[in-house]
Amino acid sequence: MDLSIIICTRNRGTRLCGTLGALRALRTSHRYEIIWVDNASTDDTARVLKDELASDPASRLIRCERIGLGAARNEGWKASRGKIVAFTDDDCYPSPDYVDAWIAAFSEYPDVGAMGGASCSTTGNMRELPSKRDKSRECSRNAPSCGPACCKAPMLPFGERPLN
C-alpha cells in the first residue's frame, strides 16, 4: 500500500457529501486506502458512512471511543497500511491528484519524514505552508492541521519499527 488517507469525523453525518464526492473523484494508479475514523459520534455519522463506503473497496470505517482529534488520528494511523499516511479533515475536498501529489513529494524528498501542503478555504484564500525546512525537528506552530502527511515508519515506537 502506497498511501493511507485518514479522515476523522464526529457528528457530521449530514455534512460529509462534499468530502465523499471529492474522494470518489481521486485519480491515480497508486495503491491507496481511505480510513474514516468515527470519533464516538452520537448522530447518524456511522450509518451514513457505512452506506456510502459499502461499494468502495478502498475505504473502511473504524470507530474511536475516546473523543478528540489526537485520539482519533492515532487510531487511524495504527489501522493504516500505507507507507505514507496523509491526514485530511472531514470538511476538506482533496483534489483528484491528491494521492499522486503526496507520493511525488515524498519521492522527491526521501529524507523528509513529514510534510504539509497548500490549503484553500471555501472563500478561495490560499494558505501555504513553508515548502522546505532545513531541519526535520523544525515545525511551524501556525500550520493548519487539515493536510499533513508523514512516513509511517518514524511514527512507530522504536521496538515496533521494521528492520528492512
The ranges assigned to domains in the chain are 3-160
pLDDT number for residue 150: 87
| pLDDT computed for residue 155 by the predictor | 58
* Banded model confidence at residue 154, pLDDT cuts 50, 70, 90: low
Q: How confident is the model at residue 9 (pLDDT cuts 50, 70, 90)?
A: very high
CB-based burial of residue 53 (10 Å sphere; 0-12 exposed, 13-18 middle, 19+ buried)?
middle
Residue 20: per-residue pLDDT: 97
What's the pLDDT score for residue 15? 96
Q: Find, among 29, 33, 24, 26, the residue nearest to 4 by Cα.
A: 33
More confident residue, 145 or 64: 64
- Structure confidence at residue 116 (pLDDT): 81
Q: What single string gives the DSSP state of each residue in 29-93?
A: SS-EEEEEEE-S-SSSHHHHHHHHHTT-TTEEEEE--S-SHHHHHHHHHHH---SEEEEEETT--
3 state SS of 27? coil
pLDDT tens sequence across 50-89 = 999 999 999 999 999 999 999 999 999 999 999 999 999 9
Report pLDDT for 90. Answer: 95
Is domain 3-160 given the CATH code 2.60.260.20 in the classification?
no
**pLDDT of 157 strictly over 70:** no
pLDDT confidence bin for 163, thresholds 50/70/90:
very low
This prediction's pTM: 0.82
Angle at 69 between CA 98 and CA 107, to 5 degrees: 30
pLDDT in tens, 94-140: 999 999 999 999 999 988 888 887 666 556 555 444 444 444 444 45
Cell of 40: 464516538
